[in-house]
Structure 1
């Protein structure tokens, strides 16, 4: 578990900082921002209270063990043993609660793969990552399907989108965001040179609630085309694949895995909601960081 979660002095510093923000006369001018600050403050206060309780219980157990070093007592030993088992159980539960505390942790996950620098080698690395996450899903009991894929010219993939569904799918995968690197002797290099390749993995919660992200239909351009994916001969005969462009942001999503155009369109809308949600969350976090920075400068 990362230090930031159980670092009591750091949590107390954050609590003090957020409490100071709530005392600002202009705090409630932005209702949404104020509610988010209060939610974070409540969450941090709960963590501090729980950690302090763990410390007190652990100190009590230590006192019992110190006493037992001097004089063996069966009843005190039994109480200490029972208390330690209970503390361990509660700590494990708290650890899991903290790890999966995200609002969208129980959502399905949408995972996108894009090769970076490295040419054919990078395309192959992206396809390897795709297979690795498919195997991960199988091993952990998640369901998965490739909803969109564009094959590379020589090998691998140019892009792919994977849906992973199941309990806490996004919670388990949200830490995978970032650029992944591969260093190996390339099978595509006749000279047997060592190559370094990069591929990005982007993980988003699958947002199915229309009320979470508002999308104006007039902001969308919807294109249909012949699918190149799985699904039999019928897929390639009809324009079942769908591509949606969100004109204000330039975000493009596509899906071609289903035989039915409507089903592909519905999943495209879910992906678009997820991407717009991610964009708004990024903006909100940047604004929070900016406000926190201003507070630190003032203090």
Structure 2
């Protein structure tokens, strides 16, 4: 047990050292002091946009510096507990200390990957768009399950979630849906989820209880702030208004408040029906279109653009990034990294961290499927 504790201690300290260097603690501490001084300025909110940026940067630095401090304190507490337990022969307390070290190791690994989210928009809020594939009701129901999965993932991480658009299927599920996930590094974490997701199960819509395979696609793209200029000509777009689908009260049912914008040169289509006001939906749809066009431009620039686009060309066999098997056995497997889970129910309830971490590590460190243990 002592050998395991020593190995965990060294690994955690190494991760903490990397995190401290990446953050540059001395510089971050001085910057936080500057931001705290600005926050005390009574004229701060004269410029609301500038004030919000200052508050966001301050909150981020406070969280990152605070997390490092808590890590070091928790590590010392766990090591002290193990040392005292060994001296007193208290096996239960010693195991408790080891369990805390294992937890700290997992969290340190996660934060080490998160520290490498240095892309221009990794720290931004993100849109998560889900589309059903061929297969009618079965596929629409699978799209609904994925839509809920990402909402639950976001809620687990204390991100704010808004439903921007939801087009319901004819009998069940959704044909498409868009979530806006707000929180630090929301896009950085979620961006690896873009691609086709495959479900295998006994269909609840088949009276003969046969096994069905369904597909749905997920696209993840960042919310673009004012720092990034994207020129969209209104003449290149077709704007349609329509009535929101599904329940939503008398206003939604009788007013063409939903907005769909088609960017004719690229064929990109975005839609918003989250607000009762057509004006607000139109503004949100324009922001979504700018975000999609930015993401498209970034994909073109990246060397892996062809592979990324290929994963989106067809919602069906041969293009999936992850398979979710509910029958005849229980397994979720990511086909890019090899990460698996034997508890699909947990995954569909938003437990996606192991998949996201492995995909991010693969992007950062390169190589094929990472060597990981199966998730029980």
- Asked if 1:270 is matched to 2:270, the reply is no
State the shift of 1:94 in Å: 5.1
2:210 maps to what in 1?
Answer: 193
Aligned residues, how many?
201
Report matched runs for 1:216-235 at 5 Å: 216-228=233-245, 231-235=248-252
- What's the TM-score, normalizing by structure 1? 0.62
Q: Which runs of 5+ in 2 are unaligned?
A: 1-104, 307-376
Change (3 A) 1:256 1:229: farther
The aligned residue for residue 14 of structure 1 is none
The Cα offsets for residues 248-269 of structure 1, whole Å up to 9 and x where unpaired, read as: 1121111111011111011101
Query: d(CA) in 1 for partners of 2:148 and 2:304?
Result: 37
CA contact (8 A) 1:229 1:257 kept: no
CA contact (8 A) 1:106 1:169 kept: yes
C-alpha distance after superposition, 1:199-235 (max 9, x if no partner): 1111100113384211112212222222235653223
Q: Does 2:200 match 1:209?
A: no
Matches of 1:262 and 1:275, distance apart in 2: 20
CA 1:184/1:104 → structure 2, altered by over 3 Å: closer, same or farther?
Answer: same
What residue ranges of structure 1 are gaps of 5+ in the alignment?
A: 1-87, 290-299
Q: TM-score, normalised by structure 2?
A: 0.50
Matches within 5 A, 1:134-283: 134-209=151-226, 211-228=228-245, 231-283=248-300
SS at 1:218 equivalent? helix
- 1:230–1:257 contact (8 Å) kept in structure 2: no
Larger Rg: 1
**Alpha-carbon distance between aligned partners in 1 of 2:233 and 2:227, rounded to the nearest angstrom:** 11
| SS, match of residue 269 in structure 2 | strand
The change in CA–CA distance for 1:151 and 1:90 in structure 2 (over 3 A counts) is: closer
Q: In the aligned structure 2, how far is the partner of 1:267 from the partner of 1:179?
A: 26
Deviations 1:13-40 (A, max 9, x none): xxxxxxxxxxxxxxxxxxxxxxxxxxxx
Distance 1:105 1:157, change over 3 A: same
> Match for 1:96 among 109, 114, 118?
114
